[in-house]
Amino acid sequence: MKYIDDVQVQKRMSSRVTKNNVLKNLFLAATLFGLVVLAILLIRVISQGAAWIDWNFLTGRLSTNADRAGIMGAILGTSWLMLIVIPVTIFIGVGTAIYLELYAKKGKFQSFVATNISNLAGVPSIVYGLLGLTIFVRAMDFGNAIIAGGLTLSLLVLPIVIVAAQEAIRAVPQHLSEASYGMGATKWQTVKGIILPAAIPGILTGSILALSRAIGETAPLTVLGIPALLIPFPGNIFDTFTALPMQIYYWTLDSSLVQEYAYLAAATIIVLLVLLFLLNSIAIIIRNKFQQRY
């Protein structure tokens, strides 16, 4: 006797095919929803802000007069922040990853630390703002200076960099490091000569993505009390500053008073988006350039 009856199979055929098609369209709709909302956002921002972007806007100082306002101060502030965040996170992040993956004895301590670093990556950014306020602004008395903001943002993205670097290091095939150890290389020589060169694309990609997160963060800076007032350009890391997302935040806040501020905010968003887009492109270029097969 046959268990699978052709007549029954034919009967069910059309409902099976229909179900498949319905679900396919449902998933397509889910994909489109995100894309459409993003597109509307982009179109709105560009249509409102693009006209306001000119040389004066990019290089000028801040002004309450919308026609004269520029965002050079915010651009400089964001650049200064990056000058702190990049070296601090790469040095501490990669160092931590190397220690956890290669030096630390696999055991309770190692897995406890590793798990908690992953947990830290999920802590809301405003909590890091409070931490930064307590430690850097008050206890260490930096005030709301670049160094306080930079260190706070570094703490915020450090877990992301550590996890990315750990994964990149883990992806280096074991047989390569074995070959190196087998010739009498120390751990550090193996790290320097074999593991880091192979892991650099992954580490850099992760770091740059973390960096773009740091650039866009607003909440922790708000908590630190970073102003967006008419302030002089920052000259060193102990100066007060403002940053692009803060500028956007305050202009949006005041747009109920002055209509033009909304357009300025949109223009600043475009600048910020271009900056993020550039950073992500660099990440992709680096990944493609250094990628090697084993």
Q: State the residues that interact with other proteins by CB under 8 A.
A: 105-106, 173, 175-176, 178-186, 189, 193-194, 198, 292-294
Compare residues 12 and 293 and give the one whose CB is closer to other proteins: 293
CB of 90 to other proteins, least distance (A): 23
CB of 106 to other proteins, least distance (A): 5
Distances (CA, A) of 1 to 4, 5, 6, 12, 13: 9, 10, 13, 20, 22
The whole-angstrom separation of Cα 23 and Cα 99 is 47
CB of 21 to other proteins, least distance (A): 46
Query: Residue 66 is encoded by which pair of tokens?
Result: 């919308």
Q: How far apart are the first and last CA of the chain?
A: 54
Compare residues 29 and 171 and give the one whose CB is closer to other proteins: 171
Distances (CA, A) of 135 to 35, 122, 128, 131: 40, 20, 10, 6
Compare residues 67 and 178 and give the one whose CB is closer to other proteins: 178
| Measured CA angle at 189 (ends 198, 165), to 5 deg | 40
Which pairs with CB-CB distance under 8 Å and at least 24 residues apart come from 190-199? 191/98, 191/102, 195/102, 195/169, 198/172, 198/292, 198/294, 199/165, 199/168, 199/169, 199/171, 199/172
CB of 184 to other proteins, least distance (A): 4
CB of 214 to other proteins, least distance (A): 32
Compare residues 104 and 258 and give the one whose CB is closer to other proteins: 104
CB of 175 to other proteins, least distance (A): 4
The whole-angstrom separation of Cα 110 and Cα 98 is 12
Compare residues 204 and 228 and give the one whose CB is closer to other proteins: 204
Return the SS3 of 137: helix
Compare residues 54 and 178 and give the one whose CB is closer to other proteins: 178
